[in-house]
C-alpha cells in the first residue's frame, strides 16, 4: 500500500506549502530529505500561505524561522511589489530581478532583529547579510535592551559590533555591559573597538578586572578614564 512518503517530490512540496505546518517535514526521513533542500521560492510560498498571503506578515513573522535568509526575503519583496501594483499576491514565485519596481522593499522600521542571529557562535555569511539588510530597512540596533551589542561583545564578534555602530548602536547600554563582559574575558580587540568609538571606562568594569587579576586590561581601563573606588583600591594594595 502506497504511503505519503512515496508521493512525487512535486506533490510533497505542494502539500508542505498548503498545510503551512512546520511539523510536516518531520513525518519521515524521506520527506525531510526531500524538503530540506527546497528552493527559496517554496520557502517564500510556505510563509505566504502560513501568514494569509500577506507578504509583510510573512516577512516580519517569518524571521523567527531559521531557514529565513536574504534570498527568501527577495522573493517576499517581489510579492510585496506586485501587491502594491494592484494585482493579487501570486502563488508562484517570480523573478525579483525582473521587477519594474526593484527598489521597493518591505520596511522593518524600529523592529527587533531576531536575537538568535546574534547568538550564533559560528555564524555564516548569510547571517551577517540578513542582519545588515534588516538594519538597512530600519531595524533597531539596540532592541531588546542592548542585547545585540552585548551578545556580540560576549562572543567577540567585532564585525557585528562595527555593523551595529554604523546604525547608531548604544555602546553604553545597561551600564557599560558590553565593556564589562569583553574586558572581563580579556578581549582586547573588542575593548579597544569600544574605546575607539567614544566609550569611557567605568569603575565597575575596573573592579571586575582587578578581581580576575587581568592587569594588562586594568592598565588599559585606567588609561581610558576608569577611576577605582575604595574597595578596588584596597584590592590593589
Task: Give 158-183 pLDDT, tens digit per residue.
Answer: 999 999 999 999 999 999 999 999 99
Model pLDDT, residue 156: 97
Question: CA angle, 153 as apex, 180 and 211 as ends, to 5°?
Answer: 25
Q: Which of 214, 96, 51 is nearest to 201 (CA)?
A: 214
Among 67-71, 72-76, 97-101, 159-163, which is the least confidently predicted range?
97-101
Q: At what angle do helices 203-211 and 173-184 cross, to 10 degrees?
A: 20
Write down the pTM of the prediction.
Answer: 0.85
C-alpha cell at 72: 527568501
The DSSP bridge partners found for residue 140 are 112
Report whether 158 contacts 182 (CB < 8 A).
Answer: no
Model pLDDT, residue 149: 99
Contacts for 137 with CB less than 8 Å, ≥ 6 apart: 105, 106, 107, 108, 109
CA distance 237 to 231: 10
For residues 87-110, average pLDDT: 62
Contacts for 39 with CB less than 8 Å, ≥ 6 apart: 93
C-alpha cell at 101: 519596481
Delineate the domains of the chain, giving CATH numbers in brackets.
111-237 (1.25.40.20)
Amino acid at each position: 500500500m502506497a504511503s505519503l512518503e512515496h508521493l512525487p517530490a512535486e506533490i510533497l512540496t505542494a502539500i508542505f506549502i498548503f498545510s503551512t505546518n512546520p511539523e510536516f517535514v518531520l513525518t519521515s526521513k524521506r520527506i525531510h530529505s526531500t524538503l530540506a533542500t527546497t528552493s527559496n521560492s517554496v520557502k517564500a510560498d510556505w510563509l505566504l500561505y502560513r501568514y494569509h498571503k500577506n507578504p509583510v506578515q510573512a516577512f516580519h513573522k517569518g524571521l523567527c524561522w531559521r531557514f529565513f535568509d536574504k534570498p527568501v526575503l527577495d522573493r517576499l519583496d517581489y510579492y510585496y511589489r506586485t501587491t502594491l501594483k494592484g494585482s493579487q499576491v501570486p502563488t508562484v514565485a517570480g523573478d525579483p530581478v525582473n521587477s519594474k519596481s526593484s527598489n521597493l522593499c518591505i520596511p522593518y522600521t524600529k523592529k527587533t532583529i531576531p536575537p538568535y542571529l546574534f547568538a550564533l557562535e559560528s555564524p555564516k555569511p548569510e547571517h551577517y547579510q540578513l542582519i545588515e539588510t534588516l538594519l538597512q530597512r530600519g531595524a533597531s540596533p539596540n532592541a531588546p535592551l542592548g542585547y545585540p551589542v552585548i551578545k556580540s561583545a560576549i562572543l567577540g564578534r567585532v564585525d557585528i559590533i562595527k555593523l551595529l555602530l554604523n546604525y547608531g548602536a548604544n555602546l553604553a547600554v545597561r551600564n557599560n555591559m558590553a565593556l564589562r563582559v569583553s574586558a572581563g574575558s580579556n578581549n582586547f580587540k573588542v575593548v579597544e573597538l569600544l574605546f575607539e568609538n567614544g566609550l569611557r571606562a567605568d569603575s565597575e568594569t575596573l573592579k571586575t578586572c582587578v578581581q580576575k587579576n587581568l592587569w594588562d586590561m586594568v592598565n588599559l581601563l585606567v588609561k581610558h578614564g576608569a577611576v577605582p573606588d575604595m574597595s578596588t583600591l584596597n584590592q590593589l594594595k
